[in-house]
Amino acid sequence: MTETVSYFTQLPFWELIAVASALIYVVLAAKENIWCWPAALVSTVIYTVIFYDVYLWMDSLLQVYYFGMAIYGWYCWQYINKRPQEALHIQSWPLNFHLKAIVLLSFISVVIGWLMANFTPADFPFIDSATTVFSVFTTYLVAKKVLETWLYWIVINAVSVYLYIEKDLEPTATLLVLYFFMALYGYFQWLGKFKQRKRDEVLTETSAIQS
């Protein structure tokens, strides 16, 4: 614990900014606050460079995707919500959909991992590829406010902690530990709102029938 605190006090300025903005992103996303997306833009730009420098090339490429998704998510949460008939609410997608997605994403991860292992100097190619591929999918779920997104993040964050510790990125590893618990928080936050909206819809339908 002392070593971690000491590391943070001597943290390079840009990595500190990346950690802080990424942390703000998760907190605001869990609260459905649209300002999570500008925070994501800041962290993605910085982490693109950081991950490239330590040969986590798939993670670096992932940050470029995050940048684009931050803009897309900002659009979905702001402009679509300005049109009541297209309002974006927290939704839950069927288990069957997620099972098919997991199988497909796992296959893609293995293929990319093999290519990275055989044709690049990237470290931990299979783990790096898996966390990248699943993160691409999961970030899209965030933009669409899909409840299950937080369950994916719980697993991704747990695996990523090991990856970043091995690459001596202690601040980022610590951030991912916080992400793990925040994903739990985010899931229950969104679950509560999802259930409340369902209850409100039932009450509205009941009132309409009685009228």
The structure tokens 């296959």 sit at 107
pLDDT, position 79: 65
97 vs 94: CA distance, rounded Å: 5
Predicted confidence (pLDDT) at residue 205 exceeds the cutoff of 80: no
| One-letter amino acid for residue 196 of the chain | Q
Q: Residues 29, 186: contact at Cβ < 8 Å?
A: yes
Mean pLDDT of 51-70: 81
Which is more confidently placed, 75 or 11?
75
Q: How confident is the model over 175-187, as pLDDT tens digits?
A: 788 889 999 999 9
Instruction: With residue 77 as reference, give the H or E element that holds it.
Output: helix 57-78
List the chain domain ranges: 2-83+95-210
Q: How confident is the model over 9-60, as pLDDT tens digits?
A: 555 777 888 888 988 998 899 888 889 999 999 999 998 888 888 777 767 8
Mean pLDDT of 85-114: 91
Residue 91 pairs in a beta bridge with 146
pLDDT, position 8: 55
1 vs 113: CA distance, rounded Å: 33
